């Protein structure tokens, strides 16, 4: 049986390229299952996956739910608004209660960075980070890597621009870890107030000028402007943000012909990305959603699945 040499998936900072290769190879066969008429396997039969989300989610939560169900597992969702969290129950007490019901994989999204790491230290089940504060979103980083490699074969030497609100983005951090480990040339670009100074230490170039950054880009990963996490005064207005850093047709024309456009979703159309680009030929945004199910199936299978798959 093929397994990852770890109990938890907490961040791509600590995951090796060898492990990521195993995850992506497994996701390749999982994608075939997602796209087949009968989406059912039994690798997770008898296993329980619990989604514990302290923040809203459409893509991540539903794709973990579908991933677990496609593999024959039992999946339940706990949303904090309708749970005993509103009565003041702590994160650890909530998680321990869930574990005592027989949980094999706990998928956690939380606004505090490090929450999944804290739970992983205290719980015997596997913990998957579904996004912790502004720290990491490892499953998004893996599905973005999978999507780019699907198109380009390899990311080594490819110029990838991560465009937008880097300061508040856990997606940016997980992408940077994954892409730089595989040899991509990563540039982060956005308003100076939305690019943290320490990001240079992660081995990326920094640009505050979108037109310059996009020249010769192979891939543009557009980040959502996280209005809910913004403090006042980080940029003048939404209109000026779009004018300065939004991806539109004129800017896309500066990149390499056929450059790939990604966005983790949810999108602010007309803010960080124009609708015509989001829906255009170079956009892989819908493909990312499908790949997200395949990546999450691969992770569940590799952490607790019982049946070896041919890859
Ligand atoms: N990309 C992403 O994490 O989307 P959701 O917030 O909808 O899960």
Helix/strand/coil (H/E/C) assignment for every residue in 57-81: CCHHHHHHHHHHHHCCCEEEEEEHH
pLDDT for 236: 73
- 15 CA to middle of ligand 1, Å? 21
State yes or no: pLDDT of 1 exceeds 50. no
Q: Is 60 in the pocket of ligand 1 (CB under 6 A)?
A: yes
- CA–CA dist 220, 142 (Å, integer): 16
Average pLDDT, the chain: 95
Which of 227, 264, 284 has the most ligand 1 atoms within 8 A of CB, as the residue to mutate?
A: 264
CA distances from 69 to 66, 163, 191, 259 (A): 5, 34, 42, 35
Can you give the pTM of this predicted structure?
A: 0.95
pLDDT of residue 237: 83
Q: How far apart are CA 113 and CA 116, in angstroms?
A: 8
Distance of alpha carbon 54 from alpha carbon 304, whole angstroms: 24
Distance 1 CA to ligand 1 centre (A): 31
- 129 in contact with ligand 1, CB cutoff 6 A: no
Residue 60 alpha carbon, nearest atom of ligand 1: 8
Residue 236 Cβ contacting ligand 1 at under 6 Å:
no
**Bridge partner list, 108:** 52, 129
Ligand 1 geometric centre to CA of 130 (Å): 9
Please give the order of strands across the beta sheet that includes 219-222.
Answer: 205-207, 185-189, 159-163, 219-222, 260-262
Q: The tokens of 28 are what? A: 């390749």
- Give the pLDDT confidence of 65-104 residue by residue, as tens digits: 999 999 999 999 998 888 999 999 999 999 999 999 999 9
pLDDT tens-place string over residues 222-257: 999 987 766 666 777 888 999 999 999 999 999 999
Instruction: Convert the pLDDT of each residue in 102-142 to its tens digit.
Output: 999 999 999 999 999 999 999 999 999 999 999 999 999 99
Is residue 151 within 6 Å of ligand 1 at its C-beta?
no
């Amino acid at each position: 049986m093929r397994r990852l040499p770890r109990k938890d998936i907490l961040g791509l900072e600590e995951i090796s390229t060898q492990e990521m290769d195993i995850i992506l190879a497994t996701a390749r066969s999982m994608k075939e299952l997602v796209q087949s008429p009968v989406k059912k396997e039994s690798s997770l039969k008898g296993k329980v996956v619990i989604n514990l989300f302290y923040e809203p989610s459409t893509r991540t939560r539903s794709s973990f739910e579908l991933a677990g169900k496609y593999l024959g597992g039992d999946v339940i969702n706990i949303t904090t608004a309708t749970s005993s969290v509103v009565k003041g129950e702590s994160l650890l007490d909530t998680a321990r209660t869930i574990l005592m019901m027989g949980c094999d994989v706990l998928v956690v999204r939380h606004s505090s960075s490090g929450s999944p790491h804290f739970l992983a230290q205290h719980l015997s089940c596997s913990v998957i980070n579904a996004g912790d504060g502004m720290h990491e979103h490892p499953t998004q980083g893996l599905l973005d890597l999978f999507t780019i490699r699907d198109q380009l074969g390899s990311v080594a030497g490819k110029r990838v621009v991560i465009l937008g609100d880097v300061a508040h983005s856990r997606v940016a951090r997980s992408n940077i870890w994954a892409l730089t480990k595989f040899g991509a040339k990563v540039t982060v670009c956005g308003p100076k107030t939305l690019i943290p100074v320490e990001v240079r230490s992660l081995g990326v170039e920094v640009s505050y000028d979108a037109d310059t950054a996009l020249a010769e880009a192979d891939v543009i990963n557009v980040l959502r402007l996280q209005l809910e996490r913004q403090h006042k005064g980080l940029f003048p207005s939404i209109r000026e943000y779009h004018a300065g850093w939004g991806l539109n047709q004129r800017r896309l024309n500066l990149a390499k012909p056929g450059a790939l456009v990604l966005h983790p979703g949810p999108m602010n159309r007309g803010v960080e990305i124009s609708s015509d680009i989001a829906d255009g030929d170079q956009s892989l945004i819908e493909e990312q959603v499908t790949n997200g199910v395949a990546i999450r199936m691969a992770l569940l299978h590799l952490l607790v699945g019982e049946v070896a798959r041919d890859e």
